[in-house]
């Protein structure tokens, strides 16, 4: 998540300029790479922690938490989704789609609340992370739909900007 936050902080002015200057192809490429790097990093980190959980729990937690390896995967999924959302939020802010971002945030919050109620009723309390993941996944889907529309509009509106 720290890599995502750092990228978003430094990339937002840059992609805002790309968008304002109708350099859409460059905008989409930069956004894709900037989002993909933290996602891959989060995936690799989560996988390494999961695969070495027995060693880590003995080293750091005096052998406790033996049955929590599944939670490591859930936290990893949460961070991966958060990385995607960080890039998506950065793009919406750079393109001045503040209301769209607010709507996707509200949708995510509602989905999280519903999912949390289900988790609280049917799963042990450590799995509340799954409830947050449902909300994040809903927001990723909503952002994907928004970006699909934006991508189609930019490729139709400015075909010259779609070529190098």
Residue with tokens 């720290």: 2
Six-digit token pair at 110? 């509602």
Provide the pLDDT for residue 72. Answer: 85
4-18 pLDDT, tens digit each: 888 999 999 999 999
pLDDT at 163 > cutoff 90: no
Q: What percentage of the chain reaches a pLDDT higher than 70?
A: 95
Provide the pLDDT for residue 157. Answer: 64
Which of 133, 139, 162 has its CA nearest to residue 87? 139
74-127 pLDDT, tens digit each: 889 999 999 999 999 999 999 999 999 999 999 999 999 999 999 999 988 778
Provide the pLDDT for residue 11. Answer: 93
């Amino acid at each position: 998540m720290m890599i995502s936050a750092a990228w978003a902080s430094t990339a937002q002015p840059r992609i805002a300029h790309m968008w304002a200057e109708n350099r859409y192809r460059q905008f989409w490429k930069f956004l894709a790479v900037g989002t993909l790097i933290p996602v891959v990093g989060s995936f690799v980190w989560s996988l390494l922690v999961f695969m070495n959980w027995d060693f880590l729990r003995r080293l750091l937690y005096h052998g406790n938490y033996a049955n929590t390896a599944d939670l490591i995967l859930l936290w990893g999924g949460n961070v991966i989704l958060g990385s995607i959302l960080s890039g998506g939020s950065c793009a919406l802010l750079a393109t001045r789609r503040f209301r769209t971002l607010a709507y996707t945030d509200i949708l995510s919050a509602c989905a999280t609340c519903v999912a949390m109620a289900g988790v609280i009723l049917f799963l042990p309390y450590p799995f509340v992370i799954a409830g947050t993941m449902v909300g994040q996944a809903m927001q990723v889907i909503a952002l994907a739909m928004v970006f699909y529309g934006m991508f189609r509009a930019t490729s139709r509106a400015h075909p010259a900007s779609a070529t190098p």
